[in-house]
Structure formats: structure tokens, C-alpha cells
Structure 1
Amino acid sequence: MAAERERRRDAGRTRQQLLEVARCRFARQGYATTTVRDIAEDAGVNVALISRYFTSKEGLFKACLDTAFAEIRRDAEQTTPNDVAAVLARRIAGAEDSPRRMEGLLLLLRTSGDERIDEMRRGVLRAVSERLAQVTGDPEAVLRAEVVLAATLGIAMMRSSLQVQPLATATEQELLAPLTDLVEGLMGQPMTRRRPAR
């Protein structure tokens, strides 16, 4: 009985480890150039475990997208119209202390060359945009929300891949004012400029 519990615990830990390694690889290298062998090697496990836990590379990518979307959605659900810019600033600037925040955004950017994978990404982007429109009190403003999301993803790309300065090293506090201007201008929501929550 104890051995069975230990195996279950190890299985859960291995699955989570594969998910974290894959998320980092997919975010940094893209879907097409990442192999299941690379992921298994980074995780220090047998490549067959990817099939066991996720069925396929596509299943693993979908699981990575699901976790990224769940995190972004959780941020959105805890956000009021006044907090949208602060939440975006925290997610973008969180790269150094929490790489997962940035990886979730980068995962949505990388093209895959696989139409089914790209459709999954489009679905997540649509859902996030719809949620952002709801948060700001205007469910019809999805197009404007998509522009805000596109700008956020562009900032993530310029910070992580291109290292454009001063954007690449801007702090959460430094990003807050321009992001507030962006959200106010596009979503029509006057906001209080506030210090990011710690």
C-alpha cells in the first residue's frame, strides 16, 4: 500500500516535471523544433513516459497551453477594471523572479507549423481576450481587448527574445504607467495609477 502511494506520488511529480520542462522548451524554442526526446532528457526520464502521461507531443503541448491559460485566467478572474494594467505589468515583469509568468505569454506567441496546435493557441488567445473584455465591463469590446493582448505579447517578445532596451529591463513599476495609458486608451477605462501589489 505504501509502495503504491509512493509510485503515485512519483508519477505526479514526474508528470509535473515533464510539464515544466516542456513549457520552457516550447516557449523558448517553439513547438516544431522541440522534440519529445529533448524534453525527456531535460527532465531526466524515459521518453516513453511522455506517451504514458500525455499521449503525444501534441497532448503535452495542449497540457502546457491549458496550464498557461489557467494561470492567465486566474489573474483575470481576480482582476477589477482598475487592476488590468497592474496585472499585465506584473505578468510581463515577472520574468526574472518567476520565469513561468513570461513563459505563459511566450507559449502563446510561437508558431508551430501545425494547424491543430495553432488552432489551440488561437482558442486560448480568443478566450483570454473575451475575459479581458468582460473584466473591463464591456463584453462587446473583444477587438480592443485583442489589441491590448497583442501589445502585451509584443512587449514579452521584445523583452525576452530581442532584449530591446530599456524595455527588456524595465521594472514592474516602470511598466505600469505606459500600460495604464494603453489600457485606458483602448478599453476606455479610466484607472487609478497604483503601485504594483507585492
Structure 2
Amino acid sequence: MATSSPRTTGENSAGQRRRDAAGTRQLLLDAARRRFADRGYTGTTVRDIADEAGVNVALISRYFSSKEGLFEACLVGAVDELSHAVARDVSLERLPHVIAEQLAGTGLGSRPNQFLLLLRSSGDEQADQIRRNTVRSFAERLATAGGWRPDHPDGDRIMLRAQVALATGFGIVLLRSSTGLEPLSSAGPQDLLAPMQDLIDGLLRERGPR
């Protein structure tokens, strides 16, 4: 009967360990995102996260160094996925479709708790700076679709309107996640599309200075 060589066995074992480590790390990230988004940073313990992930709490220190490190990793992951979904060069015509898909949890990289995560302060300056930069970046993307640029003579007005649109999106996520308010809570992307088009057209469609 054929047997594996020591070299092959060692390679398989190393590969299995890498897969197990990656899987455990992802379990912790997923559990942490849900917990942080639902209960906030201070209301979540590392024990809560480990129990939900079904792993030993000591693994949080192994993979993320600390609770702060895990929160930061959650933010970075959310930023990467949302940034990929909402491209910097998204057009004003496409923007309502992208927003509706993200808010309904059906678009690329969509996880409603990612939006909630961006509203949660950790008390850790580095993590909170990532959070602030991310929100600012998304406001700039919305504003750019509406014609904004850093040297635009009416830039402040366009940016304010983009931030109002962004705040509306965050408000929708909060209401959908916490109130059960119908028909908003169960609205799909097609249901949200028309209101989003009205919102984006009303706020960002260029009509000249006022």
C-alpha cells in the first residue's frame, strides 16, 4: 500500500493549519462585526465574540493582539469591501442603484452591519480615525458624482448636500436594523431605488449656484 512521504505529509499539515487559521480568523471577524455593530465597542467583550465564533478567547490575542486590534481589523475589512462596491468614479446615474443595493444588503460586499460599524466609536483614536476617514471618503465620492472637486467655487454647498445624502443612508440602515418599521425594514433594492433616485437628484443634480 502506498504511503505519503514525510515531506508530503508535512506540507499537507502546514496547509491544513493555514486553512484552519484563516477560517478561525474569519469566524472571529464575522462575530466581531455583528457584536460591535449591534452592541457597540464598549458593550462588547472579547468573551462575547469568542463565544459567538465558537473558539477559544485566547485566539483573539493571537490573531489580532487585542480587542482594539480586532475592532480595527473589522473596520479595515468593511472599508475595503464598501470601497470596492462604491467606486470613486461611479456616475450620478448609477449612484442610486448602488446605494439601494447596499442599503438592502444585496449589492457587492453588502453587509448592513458594516454601515452600523462605521457609526460606532471605539474610544481608540487610531480605529476612530479610520472610521472618520471612511465616512469622509464616501461623502467625497457622492459629492464627486455631483460635480464636486476640491477647487470647485460652490464646493461647500455640494459637499454639504452629499453629506446629507450619506446621513440619510445611515439613517435608513439604523431604522431597518432597530425598529422593524414597515415597509422600510423589508424593502428590497427595487423598492428603495425610486426614493434614492429622488434623493440623489434633489440633492446632487447640478442646478447651478444658489
Q: 1:86 to 1:163 in 2, by over 3 A?
A: same
Is 1:143 equivalent to 2:160 in the alignment? yes
Within a 5 Å distance, the mapping from 1:159-198 to structure 2 comes to 159-188=176-205
Is 1:93 equivalent to 2:104 in the alignment? yes
Is 1:16 equivalent to 2:26 in the alignment? yes
Is 1:125 equivalent to 2:135 in the alignment? yes
CA deviation after TM superposition for structure 1 residue 53, in Å? 1.1
- Determine if contact 1:133/1:145 at 8 Å carries over to the other structure: yes
CA deviation after TM superposition for structure 1 residue 99, in Å? 10
CA deviation after TM superposition for structure 1 residue 39, in Å? 0.6
Q: 1:137 to 1:74 in 2, by over 3 A?
A: farther
User: Greater relative contact order (Cα 8 A, min sep 6): structure 1 or 2?
Assistant: 1
Mapped to 1, the partners of 2:136 and 2:36 lie a distance apart of: 20
Taking only aligned residues, the RMSD between alpha carbons, in angstroms, comes to 2.2
TM-score (norm 2): 0.81
Q: 1:85 to 1:121 in 2, by over 3 A?
A: same
- Which residue type is aligned with residue 175 of structure 1? L
- Determine if contact 2:32/2:71 at 8 Å carries over to the other structure: yes
Mapped to 2, the partners of 1:162 and 1:11 lie a distance apart of: 37
Equivalent residue number for residue 7 of structure 2: none
Q: Which runs of 5+ in 2 are unaligned?
A: 1-10, 150-154
Equivalent residue number for residue 194 of structure 1: none
Provide runs of 4+ in structure 1 moved above 4 Å.
97-100
- Determine if contact 1:69/1:124 at 8 Å carries over to the other structure: yes
Q: 1:115 to 1:15 in 2, by over 3 A?
A: closer
Match of 1:82, SS state, is coil
Q: Which runs of 5+ in 1 are unaligned?
A: 191-198
Match of 1:68 among 60, 72, 78: 78
CA deviation after TM superposition for structure 1 residue 100, in Å? 5.1
Equivalent residue number for residue 193 of structure 1: none
- Determine if contact 1:22/1:61 at 8 Å carries over to the other structure: yes
> Which structure carries more helix by proportion?
1
Identity in percent: 48
- Determine if contact 1:130/1:142 at 8 Å carries over to the other structure: yes
Instruction: Tell me whether 133-142 or 155-164 shows the greater mean CA deviation.
Output: 133-142
